[in-house]
Amino acid sequence: MEGEKRPPHAQLLSGETRASACQPSTTQAHTVAFSVPEHPGAEVVHKTHSPIKTPVLYPRLFSSYLLPVNRSSHLKVRMGFVQHCMNAAVRATVRVGLYTGAKVYFVHEGYQGLVDGGDHIRLATWESVSMMLQLGGTVIGSARCKDFRSREGRMTAARNLVKLGITNLCVIGGDGSLTGANEFRTEWSGLLADLVKADKITDAEAKQSSHLNIVGMVGSIDNDFCGTDMTIGTDSALHRIIEVVDAITTTAQSHQRTFILEVMGRHCGYLALVTALACGADWVFIPEMPPDEGWEDHLCRRLTNQRARGSRLNVIIVAEGAMSRDGQPITSEQIKKLVTDRLGFDTRTTVLGHVQRGGTPSAFDRILGSRMGVEAVMALLEATPDTPACVVSLSGNQAVRLPLMECVQVTKDVTAAMAEGRFEDAIKLRGKSFENNWNTYKMLAHINPPDVKSNINVAIMNIGAPCAGMNAAVRAAVRMGIIQGHNMLAIHDGFDGLAQGQIEPITWTSVSGWTGKGGSMLGTKRSQPGKMLEEISQNIAKFSIHALVIIGGFEAYVGGLEMVQAREKYEEMCIPIVVIPATVSNNVPGSDFSIGADTALNTITSTCDRIKQSAAGTKRRVFIVETMGGYCGYLATMAGLAAGADAAYIFEEKFAIKDLEVNVQHLLEKMKTTVKRGLILRNEKSNANYTTDFIFNLYSEEGKGIFDCRKNVLGHMQQGGTPTPFDRNFGTKMGAKSVLWLTEKLKECYRHGRIFANTPDSACVLGMRKRALTFQPLADLKEDTDFEHRIPKTQWWLKIRPIMKILAKYDIKLDTSEHTDMEHVIKKRSPLGK
């Protein structure tokens, strides 16, 4: 497959292409089926009898691909185990299928519905997937199917597909579900031959359905499928776990207790590991890296040391598949007995169980499910008989298509590595994201600070508006600095505090419990250093500050830039500086994501859910919701996709009165359907004249007699709240990585007995770029900055907007062509060859 030319198409999560595309046929009917063995699924089927002569433009998550296609494709959606946000994937699959001209059918009760046929396969409409995004699990049912495990059962399923003209199957589930689908595909020709011999289908039907295409979407709260950083449902499960951890921490602190929490994951420790990072757990047990011999003594010492440092509680996270190095299970009760007998601590255990599978899906999972659904449809429409079964995956900030069986094989390799005691290999095979999480946790939790400290002073400050996750970044930076032997200093109230000398040492215990706290514990202001450079330089010298960590929004970026530009005049500014983006607006150049944006997005999405529910109850009502973000439309756009908005007005995408007219007309038509409600989002500075009041008045006037309007300005509630698991972990990794980078820079800049840093690469923004955390010089980012409107000139998420419009039933056409090849994951198995 590598090196083979493929037609152009665009990427799901970023402008860079990494997925595989294959030339579609313009004469045969296409079928798209979304399936998950042992899980619920919806089947989408659409049949065409004559190809369209003019090409249809198929949108991708961020762009599109010019694709000539039949208007008679059949889309079929099936699902396996119930996981969070399968409904978002089903909704996107159905609507994009309908958008491409396909007929869509729901297949109820998973593979059982595929085998049973009849009423289990029902026609889906645009309206039938409305009000699904906020629902957990799946609305089309799920069941284990013994019949499908037999050849006779698969033959019956094949007959049902052939009779409907379905030749494409999309599977949503774990490795077992996806492996079963691939087996079905592999024996497809043989099944058809047997059906012809048994006179259950005709030769013509067998010829028309001569091959079966497979695309997988990974749905599992365990996040145990190799090849993807996140599976659908994992983030929502983390939300449930962290909610419980936060509640338990309160009582544990009050009563000075030790709590042992057992989380799901089977033989994968992702949930346990990320939970430990998010709550600052004292110890975590995961199957990929069992504790060393004598771990009992080490654990007891650690818990005792934590209490000696002033901690009133201990938290231990246990993955349900945790084991010792000799393969013996490590259970919550075993740990409880150890802690109680040896230390005499008041200890409690909590097994979270199936609580982790339920609840409202997070914004991340809704967006991920929607993007995966869109990409899966496109992958099937582009497939040929020679296309291998692929899985749509997430790698960093990119969507990728990977060979399904390669991913399954690497997943099996992890199990083999653990069984053979090659635990380092198991960690690596889980992927870069898992490995980074483990390394960060190991450094913060298992490395003791050195006895001899260096004479380096590293200062930390918050700048700009407060946001959730700031404190997690401060905590990680402080503790990583102490581990590196540095003296850590806290600057209160931003640059004002630096100019006024509000600087004091900050210790290991000072930041205990900060991970789960919202806002800014250090205090933050929007003031810039430009007018205080003299005072700032004096205090840098007075407190012997050798390096600076600035955590904040656009003000932090500009403030860091002003300090760099002042280096020529003030030698004290010649120190290594790192800026960590932290703002709900997600408008800092140099990073695709900012700390705090995920929490704000979940707040908006949750509020929109309540608003839509209100509108559904009153009927014929449209809500206008104003979001924060300054001139950056990230929150409005992503919340629009997560909440199922009808439109989202932003500054980056200019709109005029004609566009407002189109939106009003769209809502007037919508009120004629069974979905008699509307949701419009508006970024606070999207247009100086088309204000929220103006749009509200316009909609109210034009909708008279058809619908009425209400408006909501969400305001500063978007800056508050408990940080989400994503923001806690993102902040923790950013804080830790920033100090490690500063440590290296300090070594580079140490000359003649002092620190002197005046090169551009000594002052950087630490940001997420596509797949990795990267350091980019502040000076180099100036060209990509719109200083007037406080936004980057290029923003990756703008390419996602057409998908929001398509899912809202707008007729959007795009043409962005890019070439790509299918990526492979077998190369990740290199450790096994050692």
Domain map (residue ranges) of the chain: 31-230+361-412, 234-357, 452-589+726-792, 597-719
Annotated binding-site ranges for beta-D-fructose 2,6-bisphosphate: 526, 583-587, 621, 628-630, 684, 710, 716-719, 790
Q: Which one is predicted more confidently, 771 or 702?
A: 702
Asked whether residue 177 carries a pLDDT value surpassing 90, the answer given is no
Asked whether residue 813 carries a pLDDT value surpassing 90, the answer given is no
* CATH number of this structure's domain 31-230+361-412: 3.40.50.450
Instruction: Name the band, by pLDDT with cuts 50, 70 and 90, for residue 626.
Output: very high
Instruction: Name the band, by pLDDT with cuts 50, 70 and 90, for residue 77.
Output: low
Lowest mean pLDDT among 200-204, 311-315, 792-796: 311-315
d(CA 598, CA 373) in angstroms, rounded, equals 21
Element (H, E) at 56: strand 56-59
* Percent share of the chain, pLDDT over 70: 87
Residue by residue, DSSP assigns 543-593 as TT--EEEEEESHHHHHHHHHHHHTTTT-GGG-S-EEEEEB-TT---TT-S-
Burial class (CB in 10 A: 0-12, 13-18, 19+), 674: exposed
Domain at 597-719, CATH from 1.10.645.10, 3.40.50.12160, 3.40.50.460, 1.20.1070.10:
3.40.50.460
Which residue do the tokens 């700032």 mark? 536
Q: How far is CA 355 from CA 174, 721, 834, in A?
A: 19, 22, 41
What average pLDDT does the segment 315-339 reach?
Answer: 94
Does the annotation mark 784 as catalytic? no
Asked whether residue 48 carries a pLDDT value surpassing 50, the answer given is no
Asked whether residue 72 carries a pLDDT value surpassing 70, the answer given is no
- Whose CA is closest to 756, among 518, 571, 605? 571
d(CA 419, CA 512) in angstroms, rounded, equals 37
Lowest mean pLDDT among 70-74, 664-668, 798-802: 70-74
Asked whether residue 20 carries a pLDDT value surpassing 60, the answer given is no
Question: What pLDDT is attached to residue 310?
Answer: 83
Asked whether residue 826 carries a pLDDT value surpassing 70, the answer given is no
- Whose CA is closest to 274, among 460, 430, 136, 161? 430
Annotated binding-site ranges for substrate: 220-222, 257, 264-266, 320, 348, 354-357
Lowest mean pLDDT among 96-100, 280-284, 511-515: 96-100
Instruction: Name the band, by pLDDT with cuts 50, 70 and 90, for residue 168.
Output: confident
Lowest mean pLDDT among 30-39, 504-513, 593-602, 806-815: 30-39
What average pLDDT does the segment 302-331 reach?
Answer: 91
The model's pLDDT over 96-133, given as tens digits with 9 standing for 90+, comes to 988 888 777 788 888 888 899 888 888 888 898 988 89
Beta pairing partners, 488: 458
Asked whether residue 35 carries a pLDDT value surpassing 80, the answer given is no
Annotated binding-site ranges for Mg(2+): 175
**Residues ≥6 apart with Cβ < 8 Å to 535:** 499, 500
Q: How many CB atoms within 10 Å of residue 2?
A: 8
Beta pairing partners, 799: none
452-589+726-792 against 597-719: fold identical = yes
Beta pairing partners, 76: 33, 105
Question: What pLDDT is attached to residue 75?
Answer: 56
Fold that domain 452-589+726-792 belongs to in CATH: Rossmann fold (3.40.50)
Question: Which of 2-16, 270-284, 450-464 reaches the highest mean pLDDT?
Answer: 270-284
Q: Which one is predicted more confidently, 636 or 101?
A: 636
The model's pLDDT over 552-610, given as tens digits with 9 standing for 90+, comes to 999 999 999 999 999 999 999 999 999 999 999 999 999 999 999 999 999 999 999 99
Q: How high does pLDDT run on average in the chain? A: 85
**Residues ≥6 apart with Cβ < 8 Å to 453:** 485, 486, 487
**Residues ≥6 apart with Cβ < 8 Å to 571:** 756
Handedness of CA 365, 367, 368, 373 (dihedral sign): positive
d(CA 385, CA 390) in angstroms, rounded, equals 13
Annotated binding-site ranges: 144-145, 174-177, 220-222, 257, 264-266, 320, 348, 354-357, 526, 583-587, 621, 628-630, 684, 710, 716-719, 790
Fold that domain 234-357 belongs to in CATH: Rossmann fold (3.40.50)
d(CA 61, CA 797) in angstroms, rounded, equals 9
d(CA 366, CA 331) in angstroms, rounded, equals 34
Q: How far is CA 584 from CA 110, 343, 363, 632, in A?
A: 39, 43, 14, 10
**pTM > 0.85:** yes
Asked whether residue 491 carries a pLDDT value surpassing 70, the answer given is yes
Asked whether residue 751 carries a pLDDT value surpassing 90, the answer given is no
Name the active-site residue from 116, 222, 224, 229.
222
**Residues ≥6 apart with Cβ < 8 Å to 170:** 32, 33, 34, 35, 76, 77, 78, 93, 214, 215, 216, 217, 376, 377, 380
What average pLDDT does the segment 804-830 reach?
Answer: 63
Strand intervals (E) in 187-313: 213-218, 258-263, 283-285
Question: What pLDDT is attached to residue 76?
Answer: 56
